[in-house]
Amino acid sequence: MEKTISGVMIECVRGDIASQTGITAVVNAANARLMMGGGVAGAIHRAAGPGLEEECRPLAPIEPGEAVITSGHNLPNQYVIHCLGPVYGVDKPEDELLANCYRNSLRLGEEHEIESIAFPAISTGAFGYPVQEAAEAAFRTIMEIVPNLKSIKRIRFVLQSGRDLEIHEKVLSMKS
């Protein structure tokens, strides 16, 4: 599913965040140490190779809501934007911290004049954020920012499961 708002195409697809060809930057649902982890952080680091951890080391630790940028190493993308999502029920206010992940990722993307960016559903795995609530916060934030974007023309959400894809498509379809 896709939707164009203020000249920016926003789309939801089912897939693997580590195999997004044709996308300038992919976003990592990182841990504070910016090291290999499970889920998204495992897939991204495995595909990128050990050079990614090396580049990340001096940038860590990061705080919930913060984002940093590195090159993509062996990924098919020029950049990886690493952000630390909130742990649901622990890092508060979680909706604001999650919104900061999207704000800071898009800001870094604009600073590096990227054309396209792909996000996973940050915080909805190991960090326990309910998918529907996370999708509401993500799209609400993106809709606020989209009119101000200059270089970013495409925002893709990459969901691992059919259920998560369906939830994101439903939430996106209600936004304008």
Identify which of 125, 43, 121, 30 has the alpha carbon closest to the alpha carbon of residue 76: 43
Minimum gap (Å) between residue 30 Cβ and ligand AR6: 6
Q: Which is nearer to ligand AR6, 100 or 124 (CB)?
A: 124
Of 5 and 15, the one with the shorter C-beta distance to ligand AR6 is 15
Q: Which residue is nearest to ligand AR6 (CB)?
A: 37
- Residue whose CB is less far from ligand AR6, 9 or 15: 15
Cβ contact 81:28 at 8 Å: yes
- Considering the complex, what minimum distance in angstroms separates the CB of residue 131 from ligand AR6? 7
The edge-to-edge listing of strands for the beta sheet with 154-159 is 2-5, 8-14, 154-159, 116-119, 25-29, 79-83, 67-71
Residue 165 Cβ vs ligand AR6, minimum distance, rounded to whole Å: 10
Per-residue 3-state assignment (H helix, E strand, C coil) for 69-89: EEECCCCCCCEEEEECCCCCC
Other Cβ atoms within 10 Å of 3 Cβ, number:
16
Q: Between 49 and 147, name the residue whose CB sits nearer to ligand AR6.
A: 49
Select 79 or 127, whichever has its Cβ closest to ligand AR6. 127
Q: Which residues bind ligand AR6 (CB under 6 A)?
A: 16-18, 29, 31, 37-41, 43, 85, 120-127, 158, 160, 164
| Residue 65 beta carbon to ligand AR6: minimum distance, rounded to whole angstroms | 12
Least separation in angstroms between residue 113's CB and ligand AR6 is 25
Angle formed by the axes of helices 162-173 and 131-145, nearest 10°: 40
d(CA 86, CA 100): 10
Instruction: Tell me which residue has tokens 């495995």.
Output: 46
